[in-house]
Amino acid sequence: MRIHLEENGCQDTRVGDDVGRYHQGRLYVIDVSQSVEYDHPNALEFLRKDCVNVNTYFRRRHGVAVMTGKELFDFITDLSITDDNMDDYLTAAMKTASQRSPDDVSRLEADEEVNCSSQSSSFPSVL
């Protein structure tokens, strides 16, 4: 998702089970036909939903420890993350994710859902 945004300047609006395949430890994206430009009025909301969908898919279907939706969103949009520091960033993020209990994950998801519904959303409103 990060590479798609950086290299193509667009965001897929419908990431879910049928958009990609996870095979032998690799993700293959097979459908990006519903992408929007990063400056589309709803691009950030689409990205937020995509982050939640991707996390839900990998956590529930494959038992993978994942970042929170907000953490994934920040990873995708953070301009300070470069090729030089990306591995360190991801190593730290995955260490944090792998140490969370199922109760921690449930609580964080509930907090993010409340924040997205409120005026004081933790997700930014512009890229």
Structural element, H or E, at residue 99:
none
Does the structure show a pLDDT above 90 at 38? no
> CATH for 2-117?
1.10.510.10
Does the structure show a pLDDT above 80 at 23? no
Query: Mean pLDDT lowest for which of 72-81, 105-114, 116-125?
Result: 116-125
Is 40 buried (19+), middle (13-18) or exposed (0-12) by CB count in 10 A?
middle
Contact 12, 19 (CB under 8 A): yes
Contact 73, 49 (CB under 8 A): no
**pLDDT for 94-104, tens place per residue?**
999 999 988 88
Query: What six digits make up the tokens of 71?
Result: 């953490």
| Catalytic one of 12, 18, 39, 88 | 18
pLDDT at 103: 87
DSSP character for 50? H
Distance, CA of 35 to CA of 5 (rounded, Å): 10
**pLDDT for 60-83, tens place per residue?**
877 888 888 889 999 988 989 998
Give the whole-number percent of the chain exceeding pLDDT 70: 64
Tell me the mean pLDDT in the region 115-127. 55
104 is catalytic: no
